[in-house]
Amino acid sequence: MKTRQTVQQVPHTIDGKTRMVPIRVDAPAPPRDWDNLVLNGVTGIAALVLTASVVWSTASIGDLLSRAVVEPAAYGAAVVFDLAWIACMAIEWLARYDEDRAALPRRAGHVMLLLAMLAVGAHGKVAGYWEIGLIGAAVSALAKGLWTVVLRHQTPPLDARTRAWIQGELADAGASLALIPVRRQLQRAQAQVSAERAAIAGPDSGSADPDRPDESADDPDAEVIGIRPGAVTTKDAVRIAWDSGVRDDEAAARYVAKTTGKAPSPDTVARYMRLLRNGMAS
């Protein structure tokens, strides 16, 4: 039986004190994983074939396009033909657990591969060697086919219920991500509404904002007194400054003083800014 050197932790006692110390011991070596070695070899072959396909297609299509444009632009456009279906194949791999999402990049990859093969074949025809054009086009098809086989082999099969469960989990995560920009839009809209109400109220307006609820006594800003009914408060001004990108307490205090017409308490401004930084302000 084959063995290999490995390190183990064993207890060792000196003067009645025991510590775990490392020692080297011979342990049975695990059998060679031939399946993994073969898969790695096939993946390497597929990568080599893909590289050769990109080089051949770029050279062929670039030579074809260089008849009408300068060579840097021709070869730059030529490499797009293969990179397009390769990118679709990568997206198909990322969506391997969701067959519905993987269908679109799979179909798009087939269409882009066909366009690349037609371009390579057209180069062979224009050059007077249509046989070479057909063989060159087959190189891209072989590369795409080989990678399709490799990726399908590594894609685990899932039953319908498992796929539905995964889709539900992804939907929940997507909903949480979608709410982030929505909340930002709502905050910006609310800030604009507050600023608009403050501008419309004017200095002589004496009516309170009917849409503004009364604040409870235990609210964090209960001690803040509005300059006039219906006008923007210190809290509103701090919120508007925050939504405008102000993150410094002193800059926010200057904005509040300019907006409300009265110098606010630095501690009050700092408290509101701290709540905004912690995401606790409403």
Residue 251 reports pLDDT greater than 70: yes
DSSP secondary structure, 253-265, as one string: HHHHHHHHSSPPP
Asked if 18 and 12 touch (Cβ cutoff 8 Å), the reply is: yes
Question: What is the model's pLDDT at position 79?
Answer: 93
Q: Which residues make Cβ contacts (< 8 Å) with residue 116, sequence separation at least 6? A: 57, 61, 81, 82, 84, 85, 137, 140
Question: What is the model's pLDDT at position 56?
Answer: 93
**CA separation for the pair 50, 86 (Å, rounded):** 9
Q: Which residues make Cβ contacts (< 8 Å) with residue 121, sequence separation at least 6? A: 130, 133, 134, 136, 137
Mean pLDDT score of the chain = 83
pLDDT winner (highest mean) among 1-15, 125-139, 218-232:
125-139
Q: Strand 3-14 and strand 17-28: pairing?
A: antiparallel
Prediction pTM value: 0.56
Question: Which two tokens mark 36?
Answer: 């993994």
> Could you tell me the CA-to-CA distances from 30 to 25, 27, 249 in Å, in that order?
15, 9, 63
Mean predicted confidence (pLDDT) in 230-247:
80
Asked if 60 and 123 touch (Cβ cutoff 8 Å), the reply is: yes
Residues 153-197 have pLDDT tens digits of 888 888 888 888 888 888 888 888 888 988 888 888 888 888 888
DSSP secondary structure, 2-53, as one string: -EEEEEEEEEEEETTEEEEEEEEEEEEPPPP-HHHHHHHHHHHHHHHHHHHH
Question: What is the model's pLDDT at position 207?
Answer: 43
> Could you tell me the CA-to-CA distances from 236 to 59, 144, 215, 254 in Å, in that order?
63, 59, 13, 14
Asked if 228 and 205 touch (Cβ cutoff 8 Å), the reply is: yes
**Nearest Cα residue to 113 out of 92, 133, 142:** 142
Residue 28 reports pLDDT greater than 70: yes
Asked if 108 and 167 touch (Cβ cutoff 8 Å), the reply is: no
Residue 272 reports pLDDT greater than 70: yes
Mean predicted confidence (pLDDT) in 90-103:
88
Question: What is the model's pLDDT at position 114?
Answer: 95
222 confidence band (pLDDT: 50, 70, 90): very low
Question: What is the model's pLDDT at position 105?
Answer: 93
Mean predicted confidence (pLDDT) in 226-242:
71
Residues 35-94 have pLDDT tens digits of 889 999 999 999 999 999 999 999 999 999 998 899 999 999 999 999 999 999 999 999
**CA separation for the pair 126, 112 (Å, rounded):** 21
Q: What is the DSSP letter of 209?
A: -
> Could you tell me the CA-to-CA distances from 64 to 79, 142, 157, 164 in Å, in that order?
12, 22, 43, 48
> Could you tell me the CA-to-CA distances from 277 to 195, 214, 282 in Å, in that order?
21, 25, 12
Higher pLDDT, 122 or 206: 122
**CA separation for the pair 226, 235 (Å, rounded):** 9
Share of the chain above pLDDT 90, in %: 35
